[in-house]
A and B are shown apart, each in its own frame.
Chain A
Amino acid sequence: MNIPSNLKYTKTDEWFDPASGRMGLSDYAQSQLSDIVFVEIVVAVGETVEAGKPIASVESVKAAAESYAAVSGKVVVVNESLADAPEILNSDPYGAGWMVQVEGGDASGLMNAAAYEKYCAERAH
């Protein structure tokens, strides 16, 4: 399980990068979903997102899921390339698989990598 130490994490398995303001799905989330076949970002540039509210709809061969905003903030860029290549979420969840970039995000309520690793381990039987 890849859990970069520079990122912050939610209980719903999203990551947030305080340095860039980007957020996306964690490696744990993509591995649980398995092959992702459809992604739709449901927020637009200029909108204000609220932490915990949906930013994307994700479908895999196993399940459909929502991805939630890790932090509140104003959307400055969305990753348009995901729509045509949803498999990026599987292959590079922390890099090219970023979903939305916000400004003004406050990561203070999120888990650090160590806490998130423990949280993931607790859920694996």
Chain B
Amino acid sequence: MTEPTIYELSSPGRAGVTFPDPDVPRAKLPDSLLRADLPLPELAEVDVLRHYVNLSKYNYNVDGGFYPLGSCTMKYNPKINEDTARLPGFTFTHPLQPIETVQGNLALMYTLQEWLKEISGFTAMTLQPAAGAHGELTGVLIMRAYHKDRGDAKRVKMLIPDSAHGTNPASSGMIGLDVVQIPSDARGNVDLAALKAACDETVVGLMLTNPNTLGLFDEHVEEVVKIVHECGGLVYGDGANLNALLGILRPADVGIDVMHFNLHKTFSTPHGGGGPGSGPVGVTEKLAEFLPSPIVGILEEGNDDMPPLFGFITQKKTIGRVKSFHGHFGVIVRAYTYIAMHGADGLRQVAEYAVLNANYLRTRLNKTYRLPFDRICMHEFVAEGKVEGSDIRALDIAKRLMDYDFHPPTNYFPLIVHEALMIEPTETENKVTLDAFADALIKIAEEAKTQPELLHEAPHKTPFGRMDEVKAARELVLCCWLPEDYEKK
């Protein structure tokens, strides 16, 4: 049973809305702007509603079940975040209003900046970037601007460990830097000898994901930072995995110079189709004046009787604006709410439970699946999706998990592990859920030996079975033509 497309449900003359009479004089559109062939579907309101409700039932979401998608931190998003984001004082304001009329919004942004600074140890913060990779781009632009400002124009290389997030080389490549990959050592740390060999006077910096994509905390992080600093480079921290460190380690304290946060991961705002994201960037003192501008600051100090006047401040050597207005404000409100609800001790517990849950799953599974780096992990770990004596692959295991009502883990990433299954349970899952997931994976390993066809053909219980990923990638159809027109073409 397949839900038809909204175009297939369309019938000429059906209408979902009745336009009200205009309260201004009617005006004729210029002939050049009129067209007769605009293919918009025509449906009644109830048909539109049912169509999208039915489609939503195909969707798997964190409100419906366990979503251990490694690297993505698909934690449960508390619903109080939605309540605060819908407060009329936030929803009925506009970024172009005079600042005196939006002091509450500005106070919230200022406070979030201060909290993120306290959590990370950085001295200045921008909330502008729209998501994590946008934060990375902002960060590498700041790093380049810093070197340029010192009159050091020969730095063109960005060092990136092979256990980094895939967006790191993309962000560096996008501004024209040469990406140099640094291998991992046998324990999943940055290979110090290779790092030393790559460090010279042409290095802009290193982009370090720590914990890295293997879910491992780099055991020599201070040494790594020192080596990069000694050649004049800066260290970028990919904050996507901050969930493991909240309240335990402040990245600036180990020498990280600049880092983005993923509010939509660590601070529980919706993402993965729901989005949007938000990727604030924090920097140390020497990089503060390069931040995107404006940032929210205090224009006039307050006193016992008067609150301070919040407003916008432009940094002296700013790299410019990276986002229209002031970032994704609705997301900022949700992250603020999450931090306010948890407090400092609560945030530390978030990290502790995220790490505990990951290690619980790791130790339940490491006798069934090979873990290439089987040491205490942080918030996630990577297993090999293979079973001795069977030809099944990570993809088969991932698809079969859907039959057990679980969202599959991230697969085939990181690339340094063959047939990778990257599992991140997050702190919001209880032991019953974790056990059910581990039991399913152990049972699937049994099935791989006794009934491999069950895996090869999985999933069986979903509305659609195994998708043809090759065909989907090779034969792209991205137009919105009516189906019958598409047939003709």
Interface residue ranges, A against B (CB under 8 Å): 32, 35, 37-38, 59, 61-65, 86-87, 124-125
Q: Are A62 and B412 in contact (CB under 8 A)?
A: yes
How far is B412's CA from A36's CA once the two chains are assembled, in angstroms?
A: 14
Closest to B169 in A: A66
* Given A37-B470, A61-B469, A125:B412 Cβ within 8 A: no
Interface centre among A35, A38, A62, A124 (most CB of B within 10 A): A62
Find out whether the CB atom of B370 lies under 8 angstroms from the CB atom of A63: no
Give B418's nearest chain A residue, CB to CB.
A125
Given contacts A35-B473, A86-B474, 13 further A-B contacts (CB under 8 A): A32-B418, A37-B470, A37-B474, A38-B473, A59-B473, A62-B412, A63-B412, A63-B413, A64-B166, A87-B474, A124-B418, A125-B370, A125-B372
Chain B hits for A35, CB < 8 A: 469-470, 473
Give how many B residues have a beta carbon under 8 Å from the other chain's beta carbons. Answer: 12
Q: Per-residue CB proximity of B441-472 to A under 8 Å, as 1/0?
A: 00000000000000000000000000001100
Distance in angstroms from B104 CB to nearest chain A CB is: 44
- Asked if B352 CB lies within 8 Å of chain A CBs, one says no
Residues of chain B lying within 8 A (CB to CB) of residue A37: 470, 473-474
Question: How far is A32 from B417 in the complex, measured between Cα atoms in Å?
Answer: 11
Chain B 286-310, CB-CB to A under 8 Å as 1, else 0, gives: 0000000000000000000000000
Whole-angstrom distance from the CB of B394 to the nearest CB of chain A? 9
Does A61 lie within 8 Å of B384, measured CB to CB? no
Q: Which residue of B lies closest to A59 (CB)?
A: B473
**Chain A contacts for B469, CB-based, 8 A:** 35, 61
Cβ of B415 < 8 Å from any Cβ of A?
Answer: yes
The CA of A38 and the CA of B470, in the complex, are separated in Å by 10
Is A61 a contact partner of B415 (Cβ separation < 8 A)? Answer: no
**In the complex, chain A residues whose CB is within 8 Å of the CB of B473:** 35, 37-38, 59, 61
A87 CA to B474 CA, complexed, in Å: 9
Cross-chain contact B470 with A125 (CB below 8 angstroms): no
In the assembled complex, how far is the CB of residue A62 from the closest CB belonging to chain B, in whole angstroms? 4
- Cα distance A59–B472 in the bound complex, in angstroms: 13
How distant is the Cα of A62 from the Cα of B470 in the complex, in angstroms?
A: 10
B residues within 8 A CB of A61?
469-470, 473
**Leading 9 A-B pairs by shortest Cβ distance:** A37-B473, A62-B412, A35-B470, A61-B469, A37-B474, A63-B415, A61-B473, A61-B470, A63-B412
Q: How far apart are B362's CB and chain A's nearest CB, in angstroms? A: 18
Give B406-429 as 1s and 0s: 1 = Cβ < 8 Å from A's Cβ atoms. 000000110100100000000000
CB distance from B98 to the nearest CB of A (A): 47
Nearest B residue to A90, CB-CB: B470
Most-contacted residue by chain A among B166, B384, B470 (CB, 10 A): B470
Indicate with 1 or 0, residue by residue over B205-239, a CB within 8 angstroms of chain A CB atoms: 00000000000000000000000000000000000
Q: What is the distance, in angstroms, from A25's C-beta to the closest C-beta of chain B? A: 15
Interfacial chain A residues near B418, Cβ < 8 Å: 32, 124-125
Question: Which residues of B from 363 to 420 have beta carbons under 8 Å from A?
Answer: 370, 372, 384, 412-413, 415, 418
Residues of chain A within 8 A (CB-CB) of B474 are 37, 86-87
Give CA–CA (A118, B110) in the complex, Å. Answer: 58
Is the beta-carbon distance between A125 and B415 smaller than 8 angstroms? no
Instruction: Give the CA-CA distance A59 to B412 in the complex, in Å.
Output: 13
Assembled-state Cα–Cα distance A101/B350 (Å): 55
Cα distance, A117 to B133, chains bound together (Å): 38
* B residues less than 8 Å from A59 (CB atoms): 473
Q: Which residue of B lies closest to A12 (CB)?
A: B181
15 A-B pairs (CB sep. < 8 Å): A35-B469, A35-B470, A37-B474, A38-B473, A59-B473, A61-B473, A63-B412, A63-B413, A63-B415, A64-B166, A86-B474, A87-B474, A124-B418, A125-B370, A125-B418
By a CB distance below 8 angstroms, the chain A residues around B470 are: 35, 37, 61
Shortest B157–chain A CB gap in Å is 13
Alpha-carbon distance A62/B415, docked complex (angstroms): 9
C-alpha spacing A70/B415, complex, angstroms: 21
